[in-house]
Structure 1
């Protein structure tokens, strides 16, 4: 893994494409202005970056394009405050700053040869997309890949334009929304309930989940009921990160710093920390 030379100094980057995912989520595809640094840039699924909206500040977002596809780096941004509002106002050709990669990553080596169950809620699908596409691009290394992705409504599902790619690449995809919607032909129900109904086997399997904290809480309970051990449940806490390098102290949970020790943790690791999730 090659890091950028100075973790405190944003690298200039250019937005090459902006995609409207949902009413409040946009996806930005960016390239580093230094072509050599772009060619040398490497990262692992689950790592994050700090993206700067000049004049507004910076915020943490997961790199949700896989390292197997390096035409650009992709970040999905939910509009939640001043920085994200400024980013949502940018268009192709505009400049941003980027400090990346930061944090740890999903344990790809430990997933090889296993069945993988991916459970995502809303914008929580962003880091899981990186993992999913990485596995699909190395499909022979993994067993079955089960994906459960849900949101409040069909309009709140991101990456709808590539669902066919996921299934065509070898993933078993189930979509769900919280309530009935006109024209919706997939599952209806909260993610933990649908997960228990699907009942994926815990034998030789690892579950990876990300979404709103309340969703993670009840999804983990469902996975435990299905027989998944704490070591076989993985989640990511990247939304707690601020500075990204362990200086500001904003992302600590007990003795751990999410930006240094995370954002990826097993449930066994999180259970050793104060209950702040």
Structure 2
């Protein structure tokens, strides 16, 4: 039997078995996994990530994209862009992967109760925001107006389209979607995601924002909200860097004075605004 200290070491991966794997868009898969009988749990806070180990290939950091209320299982949405993520997307149901975590800071869904919330997502950035949306839907009466503003490159790149349609139909939150380019058959909006802010009745004093997507999208979204009067400390972004250890040891994810794996990935914009202005940080 393993020593207790080793079993709960943040460097010790636990075995998880793949329950289901489904394609979201070409090259992007959603995996649902559960602990493989080693006693480890699956609890996490919205916005946190796990280090996922694929046997024979290596580790990769992936934020949880599933419902935090579903205890006993975890969901990850992965784009196959490198050797590890390609191997992860090729795992079949019943296969075993290793997980370390959860790591990092979370979306402040508890701290922003009583406020209006604008969720801005770009591309696959909707995946790390999804758990926070679930949480706000469960506690819908604890929040003011909630809007999801989502931008994709093209209609075919939109992830979770059925869920977006369901949320829009339920009308518990305002869902607005745009794409950069589209053919004539696209019935929706065309343009960058910041254009979805235009014409909205926003009370900056009572508004908080959660933003995730490509860094350039987050920068323009944050500045657009600042221009509307939303305070920088009420704007939250999720940063992405090349993380290896996840415990502030290797320094691979250093971002100015911060380590994304431990101080982030979620930051209030007032903490990182000056770093957004520095190229290649």
**TM-score bucket of the superposed structures, by smaller chain:** over 0.9
Alignment of 1:103-118 (within 5 A): 103-118=104-119
Give 2:24's match in structure 1, choosing from 5, 21, 33. Answer: 21
In the other structure, the counterpart of 2:249 is 247
Q: Secondary structure of 1:135's partner?
A: helix
How has the CA–CA distance of structure 1 residues 48 and 246 changed in structure 2, closer, same or farther, with 3 Å as cutoff? Answer: same
Partner of 1:96: 97
* Structure 2 CA distance for aligned equivalents of residues 197 and 26 of structure 1: 35
Question: Could you tell me how far 1:238 is from its partner in structure 2?
Answer: 3.6
8 Å Cα contact 1:61/1:238 also seen in 2: no
Unaligned 5+ runs, structure 2: 1-6
Query: What is the alpha-carbon distance in structure 1 between the residues aligned to residue 146 and residue 98 of structure 2?
Result: 35
Per-residue deviation at 1:109?
A: 2.3
2 CA distance for matches of 1:139 and 1:165?
16
CA distance in 1, matches of 2:164, 2:125: 16
Cα distance in structure 2, aligned partners of 1:170 and 1:89: 36
After TM superposition, give the deviation of residue 240 of structure 1 in Å. 4.0
On the 8 A contact 1:117/1:200 being kept in 2, the answer is no
1:187 paired to 2:182: no
The SS at the match of 1:96 is strand
Per the alignment, residue 12 of structure 1 pairs with 15
Matches of residues 104-183 of structure 1 in structure 2 within 5 Å? 104-167=105-168, 168=170, 170-183=172-185
User: So what's the TM-score if we normalise by structure 1?
Assistant: 0.92
**3-state DSSP of counterpart to 2:204:** coil
Runs of 4+ in structure 1 deviating by more than 4 angstroms, as ranges, are none
1:232 deviates by 1.1
Check conservation: 2:155, 2:182, Cα contact below 8 A: no
Q: How many residues align?
A: 272
- 1:86 aligns to what SS in structure 2? helix
- 1:48 equivalent in alignment to 2:60: no
Is this contact kept in 1: 2:14–2:38, CA < 8 A? no
Distance in 1, matches of 2:67 and 2:91, equals 23
TM, length-normalised to structure 2: 0.91
* Contact 1:62 1:238 (C-alpha < 8 Å) held by counterparts: no
Q: Distance in 1 between matches of 2:99 and 2:184?
A: 40
**CA deviation map 1:220-257 (0-9, x unaligned):** 12111111111111001144433211111011112211
Within 5 Å, give how 1:227-238 maps onto structure 2.
Answer: 227-238=229-240
Answering whether residue 216 of structure 2 is matched by residue 214 of structure 1, we say: yes
Residue 147 of structure 1 and its aligned partner are, at CA, apart by: 0.4
